[in-house]
Structures are given as structure tokens and as C-alpha cells.
Amino acid sequence: MNYWLIKTEPGTYSWEDLKKDKRTFWDGVRNYTARNNLKAMKKGDLALYYHSVNEKAVVGVAKIVKEHYQDPTTDDDRWVAVDVVPEKELKKPVTLADVKADGRLENMILVRQSRLSVQPVKVEEFDIILGLSEG
């Protein structure tokens, strides 16, 4: 069981969109590091769902329901997609500022390498963020 963080711009595809759709394929990754992370995802893994741009906050948890396959939006076989469903909505969003303010999370890739759109998260970090969302 692995934990991840996936980023999206809410204007492009938000948590609300995922809830409405019930399931989506996570496509459009065009970065080798992020792609490698997609390939490492297993069915049942959980991913923090992060809104960048205006919100800059983790808003929910998504579950991986289908492991990587050819990205349907391109013929280029270098790129892959996975399928995700909404698992749990956070009671309150955990913002980037919250994460940065918590010393236990200072080594998160989200903080250290903010541009990576699909990144692994340690189980401890995952639990801390869920804890923060409880207030």
C-alpha cells in the first residue's frame, strides 16, 4: 500500500468535478518523474488530492482503482494514465501554509519540489495531513 499526492488546477479538473464524475482517468502527465510515479501506483493506493493555483490546499483523498495504461489522450506510448475515484473528502482543506507550518512535514516533496505533479507521500505524512484536516 502506497500513498501519493496528485495535483490539479481546480479550474481544469477539481475535486468537485471528480465527485460529480464518480471516477476519472488521470491523464495529461508529461513529465518523466511524475510518469514514473504513476507507473508505481497500485490498485487500492490512496492519493492526496491537491488543488494548486488559487487554493493551494489538499482537499480530499482519491483511490487508485486501475493501474497505469496507455494515456488515451495521446498516441505517444511514453505516457500513461491511471483511474481514480473519490475516497474521502477532508473536513477542512489542509493548505500549503499549514503544511509548511508543521515541522514534521518540512521534507514533503510538495514543499521541496513544488512543481512535481505526481509525487509519493510517506504514510506518516499522509496521516499527519488527515489529522490536520480534523482540526
Partner DNA sequence: GCCAACGTTGGC
Contacting residues toward DNA, per CB under 7 A:
7, 9, 30-33, 52-53, 56, 96-97, 100, 112-117
Which of 47-84 are b and which e, b meaning 16 or more Cβ less than 10 Å from the residue's Cβ? bbbbbbeebbbbbbbbbbeebbeebeeeeeeebbbbbb
CB of 100 to DNA, least distance (A): 7
- Least distance (Å) between residue 44 CB and DNA: 25
Total length of the chain? 135
DSSP code of residue 125: H
Q: Give min distance, CB of 104 to DNA, in A.
A: 18
Residue 62 half-sphere exposure toward CB, CA atoms < 13 A: 34
Cβ-based nearer residue to DNA, 43 or 102: 102
For residue 22, the minimal CB distance to DNA (Å) is 25
Q: Which is nearer to DNA, 65 or 95 (CB)?
A: 95
- Please say which residue, 43 or 97, places its beta carbon nearer to DNA: 97
Nearer CB in complex with DNA: 23/113 = 113
Q: Is 89 helix (H, G, I), strand (E, B) or coil?
A: strand
